[in-house]
Amino acid sequence: MAALTDLTLLEAAGALRAGEVSSVELTRACLDRIRAVDSRVHAFLTVTDDLALAQARAADNWLRQNPGGSAPLVHGIPLAVKDVLCVEGAPATAGSRILEGFRPPYSATSVSRLLTSGAVLVGKTNTDEFAMGSSTENSAYGVTHNPWSLDRVPGGSSGGSTAAVSARFCYAALGTDTGGSVRQPAGFCGVSGLKTSYGRVSRYGLIAFGSSLDTVGAIARSVADLEPVFRTMAGHDPLDATSMQSPVPEFELNGKGIRGLRIGVPKEYFIPGLQSEVESAVRQAITALEELGAETREISLPHTDLALPVYYLIAPAEASANLARFDGVRYGPRRGPGSYPEDYFVTRGELFGPEVKRRIMLGTYALSAGYYDTYYGQAQKVRTLIKGDFETAFESVDLIACPVTPTTAFGIGAHGDDPLSMYLEDVFTLPANLAGIPALSFPVGFDSARLPIGMQLMAPHLAEDRLLQAAHAYQTATAWHREAPPL
């Protein structure tokens, strides 16, 4: 058998059920690799050694007491969780000093459903502060490094979760995607990342950034490994008012091809500035889908160029409201001379990072009297047009294929003095969040520097099964997802 950490989630689950390995052995292998390698990657903010081993022993006991029992595929499998999702008793910092030491008394629904199904939590992963960033450089607790090249970013804001999966620290991880924060780092790190439909997975227990945009997603080494994680955490939750009551469809990944599937290729996503190697790899992947039986056609999403300004009005506006609670009274330690409002300003001024402050100021301005209709109100109208573009496109195609990012992973510090250039990294991922539709990133090649290249598929609302089937068919015929970083 290969090294335990080199197994895929499905391989580990099969070995566990066949009695070839125990959950404790899988968990110890992951913890040992984290101890040996994560000092160079910094994927984790908290490693939950004792909790993980206790959960692993419980998973093994259940399997012994229920021989031949029907355990979920995630049962006994070590996973990681982005540190914006609450886990009862474990630290939840959201990558910010203002939440340092906070231990929530409850777990996010997405996490609790996995733990109830027997999954093992090995730790909480690094993130841009309050999920605001595209590189995981904005964490108050240090930068995460890309396992493929340690001087490059892993992407963000779910860079810690993505790096953890890529570096073989765990078999899958949860992330969140507000404007591309699962898909972009998945593309940079050579793994598969699923952004779920808005309302498909409960947001209860997620430390909110943009409430109309936030989604909980999953990262794994392959699409086949994503499927059991998605199925376990998805579904209606009465604790989340935005949770959809639509049942998760029954489907089985078969890899038998996608004959007759109609795939649209939007001309607005192949633009000047797109790295030539990225365009070449994505177009070759589209050709591979055609060879598997799909039909492709060029389509237009005419309001794509407006997605970036629309997002950076709506998301900061919602962030300014959501982050008002972090004031040293309701949440966070208190700083200042001991009087209001001085304490309020000193606390937020000292404990929020520069990117969070920037977005709070942008959002507060956009919502202020005299500017609400001019900025936020107009952005919401254009958001409706972007959503309409997708609805029109999906009348004639089943999926949309395009790049995840304009380039491969950039160097740490490359955009440090230019916030706008950093925001442009999400230009291909933002529209799916504005429209509320599911999207998937998966590896389709490498550039000349041996950095991964990802492709994105988008589907109509609640059609995650269509995404997973198509990408799984591609991965059945190719081997990019089996490549491992040189750690």
* Burial of 53 per CB tally in 10 Å (0-12, 13-18, 19+): middle
Nearest by Cα to 394 from 276, 251, 297 = 297
Q: Which residues pair with 152 in a beta bridge?
A: 411
Surface-to-core class of residue 358, CB atoms within 10 Å of its CB (0-12 exposed, 13-18 middle, 19+ buried):
middle
Q: Which of 22, 139, 157, 197 is catalytic?
A: 157
Question: Does the annotation mark 124 as catalytic?
Answer: no
Asked if the peptide bond before residue 341 counts as cis, ω within 30 degrees of 0, the response is yes
Q: How many CB atoms lie within 10 A of CB 39?
A: 8
- DSSP for 221-284, please give it: SSHHHHHHHHHHHBS--TT-TT---PPPPP--------TT-EEEEEGGGS-TT--HHHHHHHHH
List, in order, residues 6 or more apart from 283 with CB less than 8 Å away. Answer: none
Amino acid present at 451: L
Q: Helix or strand or coil: residue 436?
A: coil
Tally of CB atoms within 10 A around 393: 18
Cα(38)–Cα(101) distance, integer angstroms: 22
Please list, in sequence order, all residues whose beta carbon lies within 8 angstroms of the beta carbon of residue 262, skipping any fewer than 6 positions away: 294, 295, 296, 297, 396, 397, 398, 399
Taking CA atoms, 84 is separated from 107, 111, 131, 209, 481, in Å, by 11, 11, 7, 9, 27
Contact indicator for 34, 5 with CB cutoff of 8 Å = no
Is the distance from CB of 203 to CB of 176 less than 8 angstroms? no
State how beta strands 452-458 and 172-177 pair.
unpaired
Select which of 82, 139, 161, 166 is catalytic: 82
Task: Answer yes or no: 157 catalytic.
Answer: yes
Q: Which of 161, 166, 181, 222 is catalytic?
A: 181
CA distance 412 to 406: 17
d(CA 469, CA 49): 35
User: Is residue 78 classed as helix, strand or coil in its secondary structure?
Assistant: strand
Residue pair 197/438 in contact (Cβ under 8 Å)? The answer is yes
Is 181 tagged catalytic? yes
Could you list the active site residues?
A: 82, 157, 181
